[in-house]
């Protein structure tokens, strides 16, 4: 299950983000999205978990959590087509 995590602080690393999710289940991959040129965080990322049930538990537990004075937005990631509203 792929999970979108938004409103991250600029200092949040992949290691930090993974550490938030590991207590809720097995984490396969963590990716903080960064600007191509400056390498500064765009303040969102993705976490991929092995089990959908664990992913749902993590989303419920972490959505709205205050980390570094920011409230996290945690929800199931959508495909690019869903985000862009394409009909196919």
Q: What domain range is 8 assigned to? A: 2-78
CATH of the domain at 70: 3.30.70.330
Count of structural domains within the chain: 1
Domain membership of residue 83 (yes or no) is no
Domain membership of residue 9 (yes or no) is yes
**Confidence category of residue 84, pLDDT binned at 50, 70, 90:** low
Domain membership of residue 27 (yes or no) is yes
pTM of the model: 0.89
Domain membership of residue 86 (yes or no) is no
pLDDT at 79: 79
Q: What is the largest CA-CA distance in the chain?
A: 39
Cβ atoms of residues 20 and 9 within 8 Å:
no
**Alpha carbons 22 and 29: distance in angstroms, whole number:** 11
Q: Is the pLDDT of residue 86 over 80?
A: no
Domain membership of residue 88 (yes or no) is no
Domain membership of residue 24 (yes or no) is yes
Token readout for 2 is 């792929």
């Amino acid at each position: 299950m792929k999970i979108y995590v938004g409103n991250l602080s600029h200092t949040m690393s992949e290691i930090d983000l993974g550490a938030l999710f590991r207590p809720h289940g097995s984490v396969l991959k963590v990716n903080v999205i960064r600007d191509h040129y400056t390498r500064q965080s765009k303040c969102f990322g993705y976490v991929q978990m092995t089990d959908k049930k664990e992913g749902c538990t993590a989303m419920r537990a972490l959505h709205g959590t205050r980390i570094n004075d920011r409230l996290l937005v945690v929800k199931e990631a959508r495909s690019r087509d869903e985000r862009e509203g394409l009909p196919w």
